[in-house]
Amino acid sequence: MNFETVKYEIIGAVALISFNRPEVRNAFNAKMTEDILEALRTAKDEKSVRAIVLTGEGLSFSAGADLSARDNKWSDTEMALNEGYLPSLREIMQMPKPVISAVNGAAAGIGSAYAMACDLTVMAEDSYILQAFSNIGLIPDGGANWFLTNTVGYKLAYQIAIEGERINSNRCLELGLANKVTSSDNLIQEAMNWAEKLSLRSSQSLRLTKKIMREALDSSYEDIYRLEAEIQNTLTGSEDNIEGITAFMEKRTPSFK
């Protein structure tokens, strides 16, 4: 599958999707919003793909929006955010397969939103997240306010947003914005290895745990409790459930469908 601004590869059971405008640090133009959406949809529909890694070619994950782009087809910023970026960000969050962001270099502005939208994050030691909007009289967007507040809490989120300073990989790990930190040379391999391990687990467990936990961010305890009970009832006695129990009893690794 060939795209103009995104690189798409299938390696084993993992789709490796890379922002591919390294000459501008993978800054977003309109075409890249279209390509990343199509790449994500392709990975979702590809039955052999059980996990996804999202990264950036070259020196950065993404420097944010390309302010010099000349392919802008939106009449204003609100239209760009709602019609350009939101569909692919929503695709990541609603994807029935786990998505790992492998953050190299800068994940700035809207680029940071894509990194944070993913289910899991591996960061290179020299990478960072940056919200520089207050430097130019704007606010974080792409859902960054929601991601930050839900992850680190209001006070730290507000500080990160208004101070416009780089949040390095180790600090991101401390704050829960990253799951792992590794060397730059090992970043993709670390993310791919993790994705491959996840691909061996029950896809229904991964898919439905993601669904419940995403809903938990905006739901009450009792709402989530009831949803757990409903879904658990449908999974009990399923093929994966039986295979998992049988493998446990036989002291072997399960082979999930």
Tell me the pairing of strands 106-108 and 120-124: unpaired
Res 84: pLDDT: 94
Res 45: pLDDT: 97
CATH superfamily of 6-199: 2-enoyl-CoA Hydratase; Chain A, domain 1 (3.90.226.10)
Res 257: pLDDT: 84
As averages over each run of 10 residues, the pLDDT of the chain (257 residues) reads 94 98 96 97 97 98 87 84 96 98 98 98 98 94 97 97 97 98 98 98 97 96 97 97 95 93
Predicted model pTM: 0.96
Contact by Cβ (8 Å): 22, 58:
yes
Structure tokens at 72: 């802008």
Cα separation, 128 vs 171, whole angstroms: 9
Res 13: pLDDT: 98
First to last CA, the chain: 25
Res 74: pLDDT: 81
The amino acid present at 36, given as its one-letter code, is I
